[in-house]
Amino acid sequence: EDGDSEFGDLIEDTEAVVPADAVSFTMLQRQLESLLDSLSEREAGVIRMRFGLGDGMPKTLDQIGETFGVTRERIRQIESKTMAKLRHPSRSQSLRDYLE
């Protein structure tokens, strides 16, 4: 009992960012950006918009189609083809460590 501690000092801050988690998240973001840079501009744009990468607001197929001036079906096809590319082991291996 040193008398210098206050009750608030003893409660865990559940909102605090763990430094190792912050570093891991930053590394994941860099890997993801590198992966997206390997795609065509259209493919990367569709994936960014569909999953809300950058602005945190995922878009619908219709919204993305309007942006690119194509149908929602065409966007679905581009998304499907691009996701298949991203799942290929030569590209996805760099992200697998973050999923375990």
Q: Domain residues for 42?
A: 15-99
pTM: 0.69
What value does the mean pLDDT of the chain take?
Answer: 83
pLDDT over 90 at 82, yes or no: yes
Instruction: For residue 39, give the CATH number of its domain.
Output: 1.10.10.10
Count: domains in the chain? 1
Look at residue 71 and tell me if it is in a domain. Answer: yes
* pLDDT confidence tier of residue 71, bands split at 50, 70 and 90: very high
Look at residue 10 and tell me if it is in a domain. Answer: no
Give the separation between CA 21 and CA 57, rounded to whole angstroms. 23
pLDDT over 70 at 99, yes or no: no
- If you average pLDDT over residues 75-87, what whole number do you get? 95
Could you tell me how many residues make up the chain? 100
pLDDT at residue 34 in the model: 87
5, exposed or middle or buried, with CB in 10 Å at 0-12, 13-18, 19+? exposed
DSSP reduced 3-state for 67: helix
- If you average pLDDT over residues 66-86, what whole number do you get? 96
Look at residue 31 and tell me if it is in a domain. Answer: yes
